[in-house]
Amino acid sequence: MRRLLPLLLCTAFPMAAQQPATPPQELPVFHSETRLVVEQVTVKDKGGKPVEGLTAKDFAVTENGIPQTVAFLEFQRLEEIRPAPTLTDRVAAIPRLAHTQIAAERPLDLRYADRRLLALYFDMTSMPPADQSRAIGAAQEFIRKMMTPADLMAIMVYAGGEVTVHEDFTGDRERLLATLQTMIVGEDENVPEPVVDGAFGQNGGEFAIFRTDRQLSALQTAAKMLGTLNEKKSLIYFASGLRLNGTDNHAQLRATINAATRAGVSFFTVDARGLIASAPMGDATRASPGGIGAYSGATAMTAISNLQRTQDTLWSLAADTGGKALLDANDLSLGIVQAQKAIVSYYVLGYYTSNAALDGKQRKVKITLNGELTAELDYRGSYFAGKEFKKFTATDKERQLEDAFMLGDPITELTMAMEVNYFQLNRAEYFVPIAIKIPGSELVLAKHGGAEHTLIDFMGEIRSGGPANNVRDKIDIKLSDATAAELATRPITYDTGFTVMPGDYRIKFLARDAETGRIGTYETSVKIPNLNPNTEAVESKIAISSVVLSSQRIQLDDALFNATKDKEKSQVLDSVNPLVQEGQKLIPSVTRVFRKAKPMYVYLQAYQQGAEPPHPLAAFVTFYRGDAKAFETAPVPVAEHVASRLNTMPIKLSIPIDKLATGEYRLQVTVLDPNAQAAAFWQTSVMLVQ
């Protein structure tokens, strides 16, 4: 009847023209909304074999303790793993295929029935050429010798800042091998992640420094692509480690894992470096580190710790999504075999949840067998409901913002970067300034919608086991044409701070653009060391604060981008903030990206408790490009100090960087005490752009 409606209107039109016009009658509109939840349930008997022949009546499902009605149940029968005949002939390379998409499943589409879905995901931004060849070779080995008729495989690649699907799920081994052949790089080639413009402006993409965040975000995108299919999916992630540093957004790791869980995707991570065995003093590819650490074992322990950190995130991704990690193994194809063996015959169970609220909260699912049936069930035990924050009302905004802050499933719609520093105030307390950067280009969306200003809400807390210190603030940005043009190429920076005692802390911040409804969550951990004498943090070293790098100083009475916030609260923070001096505030770079046209400012504090008088110090900065020294400043004497028990000595350096080539450097700040024959060192990565 719906298809005949246009024809009926056309035939009735001439008659309607001869009769008096009558007001159209509004047809009643009925709204009905349901939320389908799909679970993949593996049922095994005592012998570990899949149980077949069950019906929907045999299953009992509850969500948060409330019984649910099973809407459908399908059995996916997968044959035992028996490899197909080995392909021995070399497959000729074909032209690079056009990038495709993971085809969504249509009703009554049986293409994936009784099939095992394995997606190969190559993170080219983390693998050097040798590791890329090793990973691609392992995939070719599996397809030639171990792929079964029940297996369907897809090929996904992360390179150039985006996720592309080189091959949708297919059982055509020749086509898969041909596609892999087009991805092989030469020994002298590399596929580095480019610096993409537009993330934080400055014509260089400041967010490129936070590479792990981008890798995890890309992996989240891949999981969402696979989420269009109801069957079990395994994603085999090839990477040369994945290190989550303090500067990275830990909320992105949780968001990626939760997205995979929601999509029914298990990560099987593979360390493409294979078995790693390094000499305590390093191998021939780099110069000897030298120093006392080479004899005390500190250098070897640091190398082992750094290696373990690159593997910890791989292990977490796999363990938290029901997969496995393959670490320290030369046969990388075993990682694909693990994913293959993990998927056995299972049931696809669906129900329409009785709780249709889009609150983003965790829902706990329990599935059991009715009657006297006994078996071992394996399924997703919980999921996070969808979130919809764009339909805020004025009265609900405050409550819903607090709900968003408390969600177990982080929100990463708004790009954020955060820097945390610490400075000692007295023997017991430390001031922790926090700077948050948001790309102005994302806020311009409000101007495109006709808004004259945008309001950004901030909520944050710092917690260490007990009660948390909280902050709530907002900034109001007037969106004139000139301001919008400036925001399109520059970020905005929000700063606040806490006074705490030494210890390990977890910091979480949430920002929301009230005009567009976009929300970003940032979480990280920070250790505030005890800088008092005779503590491990300062043993045989100079006690120093964290180091702030900047390229911007502003007047306190200037409103950055015409943004205003709580003036009284800002004045209290500025009174104890060491980054505020002589009516100016030093703005941390956060993303460590610097334009060569501006000098780089370096600020830190040294503390000489008990030294009467304090010893004169010297400080200098060194830039390393790879293992070679690219530039080093002359030592700057430091004698000025604040008369107190701490004997605080501010160290201020201004470095011209216009003569240095663009690119990434390792920057080291060195502080020397010639009298006590002590030193302190601090390192980080920086990016120089035009």
Express each pLDDT in 117-149 by its tens digit. Answer: 999 999 998 888 889 999 999 999 999 999 998
**What is the three-state SS of 49-80?**
CECCCCCHHHEEEEECCEEECEEEEEEECCCC
Fill in the amino acid letter for 387: K
Euclidean distance between the first and the last CA atom of the chain, given in angstroms as a whole number? 64
HSE at residue 673, side-chain half, CA atoms within 13 A, is 19
Q: How far apart are CA 253 and CA 409, in angstroms?
A: 10
Q: Rounded to the nearest 5°, which phi and psi values hold at 182?
A: -75, -15
Express each pLDDT in 617-661 by its tens digit. Answer: 999 999 998 778 999 999 999 988 887 888 999 999 999 999 999
pLDDT at 357 over 50: yes
Query: Does 184 or 284 have the greater pLDDT score?
Result: 184
pLDDT of 422 = 94
Express each pLDDT in 592-619 by its tens digit. Answer: 889 898 999 999 999 988 778 888 999 9
| Sequence ranges of the domains in the chain | 31-77+349-384, 116-344, 394-528, 534-564+578-690
Q: How far apart are CA 71 and CA 57, in angstroms?
A: 10
Query: Are the beta carbons of 551 and 656 closer than 8 angstroms?
Result: no
Is residue 323 classed exposed, middle or buried when 0-12, 13-18 and 19+ CB atoms within 10 A define those classes? Answer: buried
Q: Kind and range of the H or E element at 216?
A: helix 211-226
Q: How many residues does this entry show for the chain?
A: 690
Q: Kind and range of the H or E element at 642?
A: none
pLDDT of 500 = 92
Q: 15 pLDDT band (50/70/90 cuts)?
A: very low
Contacts of 534 (CB under 8 A, 6+ apart): none
pLDDT of 190 = 43
pLDDT at 247 over 70: no
Q: What angle do CA 234, 235, 237 make, to 5 degrees?
A: 145
Which residues sit opposite 369 in a β-bridge?
A: 59
HSE at residue 365, side-chain half, CA atoms within 13 A, is 30
pLDDT at 561 over 70: no
Q: Tell me which fold the domain 534-564+578-690 belongs to.
A: Immunoglobulin-like (2.60.40)
Query: Does 256 or 565 have the greater pLDDT score?
Result: 256
Average pLDDT for residues 569-581, to the nearest whole number? Answer: 77
pLDDT at 400 over 90: no
pLDDT of 141 = 93
Task: Provide the token pair at 41.
Answer: 């349930």
Query: Does 351 or 182 have the greater pLDDT score?
Result: 351
Average pLDDT for residues 270-282, to the nearest whole number? Answer: 75
Please give the radius of gyration of the chain, using alpha carbons only, rounded to the nearest integer.
29
Q: How far apart are CA 383 and CA 358, in angstroms?
A: 13
Q: How far apart are CA 53 and CA 363, in angstroms?
A: 29
Task: Provide the token pair at 384.
Answer: 């996070």
Whole-number average pLDDT of the chain = 79
Query: Are the beta carbons of 606 and 547 closer than 8 angstroms?
Result: no
Distances (CA, A) of 669 to 300, 501, 578, 651: 22, 25, 19, 11
* Max mean pLDDT range (83-87, 397-401, 458-462): 458-462
Q: 470 pLDDT band (50/70/90 cuts)?
A: confident
Using the structure block, give the residue that is written with the tokens 């171990």. 146
Query: Are the beta carbons of 115 and 152 closer than 8 angstroms?
Result: yes
Q: What angle do CA 530, 534, 536 make, to 5 degrees?
A: 55
**394-528: CATH architecture:** Sandwich (2.60)
Is the sign of the CA dihedral 343, 345, 347, 348 positive or negative? positive
Query: Are the beta carbons of 41 and 61 closer than 8 angstroms?
Result: no
Q: 195 pLDDT band (50/70/90 cuts)?
A: very low
Query: Are the beta carbons of 407 and 413 closer than 8 angstroms?
Result: no
Q: 586 pLDDT band (50/70/90 cuts)?
A: confident
pLDDT of 650 = 94
- The DSSP secondary structure of 550-576, one letter per residue, reads EEEEEETT--GGGEE--HHHHHHHHHH
Q: What angle do CA 319, 320, 325 make, to 5 degrees?
A: 25
Q: Is 465 helix (H, G, I), strand (E, B) or coil?
A: coil
Average pLDDT for residues 157-182, to the nearest whole number? Answer: 89
Give the other-Cβ count within 10 Å of 260's Cβ: 26
Express each pLDDT in 327-342 by its tens digit. Answer: 888 899 999 999 998 8
Helices (H), 104-210: 129-145, 173-181
Lowest average pLDDT, out of 62-66, 94-98, 454-458, 476-480, goes to 94-98
Domain 116-344, CATH class in plain words:
alpha beta
- pTM value is 0.67
Closest CA to 121 of 251, 209, 36, 242: 242
Average pLDDT for residues 32-49, to the nearest whole number? Answer: 83
Task: Work out whether strand 265-271 and strand 325-326 pair parallel, antiparallel, or are unpaired.
Answer: parallel
pLDDT of 501 = 92
Query: Does 373 or 185 have the greater pLDDT score?
Result: 373
Q: Rounded to the nearest 5°, which phi and psi values hold at 177?
A: -65, -40
Express each pLDDT in 516-542 by its tens digit. Answer: 778 888 888 899 999 988 766 555 578
Query: Does 501 or 6 have the greater pLDDT score?
Result: 501
User: Is 534-564+578-690 the same fold as 116-344?
Assistant: no
Share of the chain above pLDDT 70, in %: 75
Q: How far apart are CA 259 and CA 250, in angstroms?
A: 14
Query: Are the beta carbons of 370 and 57 closer than 8 angstroms?
Result: yes
